[in-house]
């Protein structure tokens, strides 16, 4: 089989790769644009950890290629430096330094001088985490506790107000992890992120596919009261199944107001098993803290009427292929993948172990709660209702 010739991508083609990557397309989809294998594209994007490099540009104050060509022609013609400077409206010292740093009057060439200037201008600014090692140690410690970079950035801002040396943006943390040439954070800390991948993906990327069933008597999410939608009062939950290997699953419940998480062990995904487990869980909470439940159109909730009769809790169902209508639960399921990676057999976990994971998640500060933890917010409500 003849091998395809090597391809050297142009700046325009590389720019197109980054545009597609930022829109959430996969490596395979991007590679098909160039009739190449996905590894060809990955090689380019992986150089900066999947983070698009900042486009370089020249300062308006530096000499242009045209000006350097004028200098080259003037030197050949034997003109003086002051004469050249007057023609270009530049300081004589600027012309003198330009000539001396590029081989002198006899060896000066415009193209070579211009390329050397472009190469010399590459002076990357030292990363803040590399310059402030105390800050780097704080960030590394929180990453070891499996905090997300955004949670770390918010916690630092709240803990050290007014101290810029101990504050850093979540974007800087991500860049320090994915671009190892910065030398600020160890590569091993990548494994502590909730999604352990070598390159940072676009937030638009998704691999989700929904398998919806026909639910008899389903109450649409559009009939849900307005105070549920705007999170005005606590007690309204979102739920779904988190799937693992060997046909295993657990139920995940998230309270919309506090983002408090509850995990429920399931021995099977049939509707009777799921509903029985949810009824048992509902009995553990005060009525004021469990007013409604929003679920996906999965067959596991086919017996939703029985759940409502047993608990007096209404169940509302999302529209088909609209998982964003359970945004809090979808986000939580993404966080849970840090503890339960895809393909892991979930059947071996006890309820006590699931409760321990939930406690860890509920103890992590959330940006949407002004960096309070879900546990703090939820227990305030429990104390009020109690």
d(CA 237, CA 231): 10
- Give yes or no for a contact between 68 and 113, defined as CB atoms under 8 angstroms apart: yes
Residue 226 pLDDT > 90: no
Residue 251 pLDDT > 90: yes
Map out the domains of the chain as residue ranges.
Answer: 11-48, 65-120, 128-192, 219-385
Q: If we measure between CA atoms, which residue out of 151, 145, 141 comes closest to residue 370?
A: 151
Residue 373 pLDDT > 70: yes
Residue 2 pLDDT > 60: no
Residue 1 pLDDT > 50: no
Residue 213 pLDDT > 60: no
Q: Decide: helix, strand or coil at residue 240.
A: strand
Residue 207 pLDDT > 70: no
- As given in the structure block, the two tokens for residue 351 are 């309820």
Percent of the chain with pLDDT over 90: 46
> Which pLDDT belongs to residue 355?
96
The mean pLDDT value for 205-215 works out to 54
Top-tier CATH class for 219-385: alpha beta
Reported as a pLDDT band with limits 50, 70 and 90, residue 210 is: very low
pLDDT digits (tens, 9 = 90+) for 99-151: 999 989 889 999 999 998 888 877 666 788 888 889 989 999 998 888 888 89
Reported as a pLDDT band with limits 50, 70 and 90, residue 223 is: very high
78 contacts: CB under 8 Å, gap ≥ 6 = none
80 contacts: CB under 8 Å, gap ≥ 6 = none
pLDDT digits (tens, 9 = 90+) for 160-185: 998 989 999 888 888 878 776 566 67
Please give the C-alpha separations between residue 166 and each of 35, 276, 368, in angstroms, as whole numbers: 47, 49, 22
Write b or e for each residue in 153-184: b if 16 or more Cβ atoms lie within 10 A of its Cβ, otherwise e.
bbbbbeeeeeeeebbbebebbbbbbbbeebeb
pLDDT digits (tens, 9 = 90+) for 316-342: 999 887 878 899 999 999 889 989 998
Strand partners, 261: 254
**Which comes out higher in pLDDT, residue 383 or 73?**
73
DSSP 274-313: HHHHHHHHHTTS-GGG--EEEE-S-GGGTTHHHHHHHH--
Q: Is 126 exposed, middle or buried (0-12, 13-18, 19+ CB in 10 A)?
A: exposed
> Which pLDDT belongs to residue 29?
85
Residue 374 pLDDT > 90: yes
Reported as a pLDDT band with limits 50, 70 and 90, residue 265 is: very high
Percent of the chain with pLDDT over 70: 90
Q: Report the range of poorest mean pLDDT among 178-187, 248-257, 297-306.
A: 178-187
Please give the C-alpha separations between residue 257 and each of 173, 261, 318, in angstroms, as whole numbers: 28, 11, 18
> Which pLDDT belongs to residue 66?
92
Reported as a pLDDT band with limits 50, 70 and 90, residue 26 is: confident
The mean pLDDT value for 211-225 works out to 80
d(CA 386, CA 383): 5
Reported as a pLDDT band with limits 50, 70 and 90, residue 209 is: very low
């Amino acid at each position: 089989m003849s091998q395809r010739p090597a391809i050297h991508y142009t700046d325009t083609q590389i720019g197109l790769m980054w545009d597609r990557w930022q829109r959430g397309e996969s490596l395979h989809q991007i590679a098909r644009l160039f009739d190449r294998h996905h590894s060809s594209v990955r090689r380019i994007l992986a150089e900066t950890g999947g983070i698009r490099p900042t486009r370089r540009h020249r300062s308006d104050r530096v000499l242009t290629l045209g000006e350097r060509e004028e200098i080259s022609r003037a030197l050949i013609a034997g003109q003086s430096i002051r004469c050249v400077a007057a023609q270009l409206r530049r300081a004589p010292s600027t012309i003198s330094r330009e000539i001396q740093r590029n081989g002198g009057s006899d060896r000066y060439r415009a193209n070579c001088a211009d390329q050397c200037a472009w190469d010399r201008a590459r002076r990357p600014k030292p990363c803040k985490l590399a310059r402030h090692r105390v800050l780097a140690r704080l960030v590394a410690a929180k990453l070891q506790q499996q905090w997300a970079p955004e949670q770390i950035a918010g916690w630092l801002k709240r803990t050290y107000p007014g101290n810029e040396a101990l504050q850093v943006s979540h974007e800087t943390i991500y860049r320090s992890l994915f671009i190892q040439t910065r030398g600020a954070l160890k590569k091993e800390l990548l494994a502590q992120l909730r999604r352990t991948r070598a390159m940072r993906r676009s937030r638009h990327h998704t691999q989700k596919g929904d398998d919806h069933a026909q639910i008899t008597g389903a109450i649409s999410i559009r009939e849900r009261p307005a105070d549920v939608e705007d999170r005005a009062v606590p007690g309204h939950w979102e739920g779904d199944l988190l799937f693992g290997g060997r046909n295993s699953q657990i139920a995940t419940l998230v309270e919309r107001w506090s983002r408090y998480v509850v995990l429920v062990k399931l021995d099977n995904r049939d509707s009777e098993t799921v509903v029985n487990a949810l009824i048992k869980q509902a009995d553990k909470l005060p009525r004021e803290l469990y007013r409604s439940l929003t679920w996906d159109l999965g067959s596991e909730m086919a017996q939703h009427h029985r759940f409502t009769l047993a608990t007096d809790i209404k169940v509302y169902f999302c529209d088909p292929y609209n998982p964003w209508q359970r945004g809090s639960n979808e986000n939580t399921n993404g966080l849970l993948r840090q503890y339960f990676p895809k393909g892991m057999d979930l059947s071996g976990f006890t309820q006590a172990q699931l409760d321990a994971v939930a406690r860890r998640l509920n103890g992590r500060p959330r940006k949407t709660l002004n960096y309070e933890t879900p546990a703090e917010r939820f227990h305030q409500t429990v104390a009020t209702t109690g």
